[in-house]
Amino acid sequence: MFVLKSLNDSISVLPGVGPKKMVALNKLNINTIADLLGAYPFRYEDFATRKLSEVSDQQKVALKGTVASEPVISRFGRKKNRLNFRLLIEHDVIMVTFFNQAYLAKQVETGKSLAVYGKWDAKRQSLTGIKILAAAADDELGGVYRSSKEIKQSQVKKLVAEAFKEYQELIVDLIPEKLRHKYRLMSRKEMIRNIHFPDNQKIAKLARRTGVFEEFFLFQVKMQYLKRHSRIKNGIQIKYDLQKLRSFIAGLPFTLTPAQKRVVNEICYDLHHKYHMNRLLQGDVGSGKTIVAAIALYAAVTAGFQAALMVPTEILAQQHAEKFVQLFKGLDVNLVLLTSATASKAKQRRELLKNLENGQIDIVIGTHALIQDDVNFAKIGIVVTDEQHRFGVSQRQVLRQKGKSPDVLMMTATPIPRTLALTAYGEMEVSTIDELPKGRKIIKTFWLKNSQLAQAYSFIQKQLKEHAQAYIVSPLIAESEMMDLKNAEEVYAKTKKLFEPQYHVGLLHGKMSSDEKRQIMAAFKDHQIDVLVSTTVIEVGVDVTNATVMMILDAERFGLAQLHQLRGRVGRGERQSYCLLLADPKNEYGVARMKVMVQTNDGFMIAQKDLELRGQGDILGSKQAGMPEFKLGDPVADLNVLQVAQKEAAQVVNNPAFDDSQNKDPLFKYVKHSLSTGMSFD
């Protein structure tokens, strides 16, 4: 029988992959032959045999010698055993020990030459064996694969070898020949072969180089293709009422900064045109993004559309809703709040959903509750997300799919260096608010030792005397919300003891119901509470202008981005504000973070420092900035490759011939295929 093979074949075509293994592989995100070939080893074991003199203690190495004693098996405990034999390496005799692999004994014959991979113990002159290397295979490197309880990595490796053998002829090049030549890259087939089965370090490195380029290049081609498409494809045209918009802006309690005006214009231009807006609004904490969002939402409403604002926390949703109700007072705008708190009141929720669907509601503000399946709009025109970096790449697509391609505006205060922004948000246009409203003073930041806590408290007291308010953020215990709470309660008790009855102290934490949270926040805003003790729930967005002190306990536990966000809760008005960092950092990195905070208020600078301090390959750091994850490439360490790939991708995409449906180029087919299956957004 003649069967047409394809790289999209299910892995079940491989010998030995039954239903059970299939599930195990699927869990590792391996569904097709292509997935399997793309499941690169995450590191290599070095099997090149070494001289004893060059091996250091506890190093994993391959040693080759002659078996110098009969293997001895000793059994101990239940089901445990140890296999021992001596190995003669030039003039030295060492002991080799394998645990619970007694079956290896039959491969160990006195006088026979043998290579063993294991961990070297210099003091005992012994090697704890990991595996016996086949004499025939003289590969110097062995790939180590992601595996699981259900499927061992040696099995994954075997399947990769099988798949490569059977399917290698089908591997076509995606990078255009011209570029492969220009940057001296391997063919795709050679790259895949040498990433999985390299003969030596050098070839493995070269293969990785090609792989990194390919990964960045394909990503960029997809992103830029999307971006180009959203510009040409028919979106909706939001013909806002300019008169209404002007008088709304004129009625604000302040005048917009030049930067705010510029971004408002950029957004309005997009709204008015017949393509999808897909725009990122970057601006440091306190730069005034909220009002820009309000203007965009209102613009859509004046054109007869509905508008949505999605935020990451309930507190923030409530705050925005309250603020917007004020802003839109006297205007014909019907605004509602939809959070998980609304969701718990079934009847109210049903009513609300009905009104969204029949178009009676103009603006909805909410949390993740907005992207539930049963939320539908009559005529959604624009979707805005605040604190965008808190949402995953896929979530930002979901809201978009809610309506007939609404315009999308994403706001973030976590600025990332320009080069990286192009990667993280490659499919978007970027607007930047690069100045703070007039009259803002630099927040004075002090780093104090824990032993200076009393001084910090008396500093707060002085500010309270001048009718200002303060935040105290209790230590963050990443592993446990319960511990967070316990800490916050302790700090609360202590603060009360110090300040009450003269001043009021409040407590805010994540375990409170949203009603409780709202009440506390409202009391703080109305100045019924002078000092608010809180866990990090107040981290994003919260806006109380009369607060002038932010004290952060155990500040060394927070990352730079988070510290900057927390500090941004003060300095939001014209009063001089202060940030007190209480910290006894235990390492250099912690000290460096405190110093950066003291030195600068500039979010872009802080982001850059953060990147430098974290160093290369910190996936956590990239994740927080909303960066996509790459298998091989590291956007920081491989930045130059990223930039080249970006430039070349633009060349390819901007060629009109590329987007011709008759285009037979495998690269074009690949882009179409992966965008249609949504792969790029996982």
Q: Is 571 in the site for ligand ADP (CB under 6 A)?
A: no
**Closest CB to ligand ADP among residues 292, 597:** 292
Distance in Å, CB of 542 to Mg ion, minimum? 9
Half-sphere exposure for 645 (CA within 13 Å, toward CB)? 29
Q: How many residues does the chain have?
A: 682
3-state SS, residue 166: helix
Distance in Å, CB of 589 to ligand ADP, minimum? 27
Q: Is 257 in the site for ligand ADP (CB under 6 A)?
A: yes
**Residue in the block written with tokens 């179409």:** 672
Could you give the CA distance from residue 583 to residue 598 in angstroms, rounded to a whole number?
A: 12
Instruction: Select the span of 318-326, 370-378, 536-544, 569-577 touching Mg ion (CB under 5 A).
Output: 536-544
Instruction: Select the span of 66-74, 527-535, 538-546, 615-623 touching Mg ion (CB under 5 A).
Output: 538-546
Q: Which residues of 669-681 are buried (b: 16+ CB within 10 A; e: fewer)?
A: eebeeeeeeeebb
Among 271, 285, 341, 531, binds ligand ADP (CB under 6 A): 285
Could you give the CA distance from residue 65 to residue 86 in angstroms, rounded to a whole number?
A: 9
**Closest CB to ligand ADP among residues 155, 545:** 545
Beta-sheet strands, E only, within 137-178: 141-144
Distance in Å, CB of 605 to ligand ADP, minimum? 17
Among 42, 254, 269, 589, binds ligand ADP (CB under 6 A): 254
Q: Is 543 in the site for ligand ADP (CB under 6 A)?
A: yes
Which tokens belong to 517? 């949270």
Three-state SS sequence of 68-129: CCCCEEEEECCCEEEEEEEEEECCEEEEEEEECCHHHHHHCCCCCEEEEEEEEECCCCEEEE
Among 71, 129, 286, 426, binds ligand ADP (CB under 6 A): 286
Q: How many residues bind Mg ion (CB under 5 A)?
A: 1
Distance in Å, CB of 310 to Mg ion, minimum? 13
Q: Out of Mg ion, ligand ADP, none, which partner does residue 469 contact, by CB within 5 to 8 A per kind? A: none
Among 290, 487, 535, 680, binds ligand ADP (CB under 6 A): 290
Which tokens belong to 149? 């309880």
Phi first, then psi: give them for residue 68, nearest 5 degrees.
-115, 5
| Residue, CB closest to ligand ADP | 288
560, 597 Cβ separation under 8 angstroms: yes
Burial class (CB in 10 A: 0-12, 13-18, 19+), 368: middle
Contact mark string toward ligand ADP, 397..426, x via CB under 6 A: ----------------x-------------
Strands 60-67 and 80-89: antiparallel
Residue at 113: amino acid letter:
S
**Closest CB to ligand ADP among residues 452, 545:** 545
**Closest CB to ligand ADP among residues 438, 497:** 438
**Residue in the block written with tokens 């050098």:** 202
**Closest CB to ligand ADP among residues 279, 572:** 572
Q: How many residues bind ligand ADP (CB under 6 A)?
A: 18
Q: Is 435 in the site for ligand ADP (CB under 6 A)?
A: no
Among 180, 572, 609, 614, binds ligand ADP (CB under 6 A): 572
Could you give the CA distance from residue 70 to residue 68 in angstroms, rounded to a whole number?
A: 7
Instruction: Select the span of 255-263, 537-545, 577-585, 659-667 touching Mg ion (CB under 5 A).
Output: 537-545
Distance in Å, CB of 583 to ligand ADP, minimum? 24
**Distance set, CA 355 to CA 189, 255, 304, 375, 460 (Å):** 56, 34, 15, 10, 47
Q: Is 121 in the site for ligand ADP (CB under 6 A)?
A: no
Distance in Å, CB of 675 to ligand ADP, minimum? 32
Could you give the CA distance from residue 544 to residue 530 in angstroms, rounded to a whole number?
A: 12
**Closest CB to Mg ion among residues 67, 281:** 281
Among 143, 541, 568, 626, binds Mg ion (CB under 5 A): 541
Could you give the CA distance from residue 470 to residue 448 in angstroms, rounded to a whole number?
A: 17
Which tokens belong to 116? 């063993």
Contact mark string toward ligand ADP, 485..524, x via CB under 6 A: ----------------------------------------
DSSP 3-state percent helix, strand, coil across the chain (nearest 5): 45, 20, 35
Distance in Å, CB of 331 to ligand ADP, minimum? 18
Site of interaction with Mg ion (CB under 5 A): 541
Site of interaction with ligand ADP (CB under 6 A): 254, 256-257, 260, 283, 285-291, 413, 437, 541, 543, 545, 572
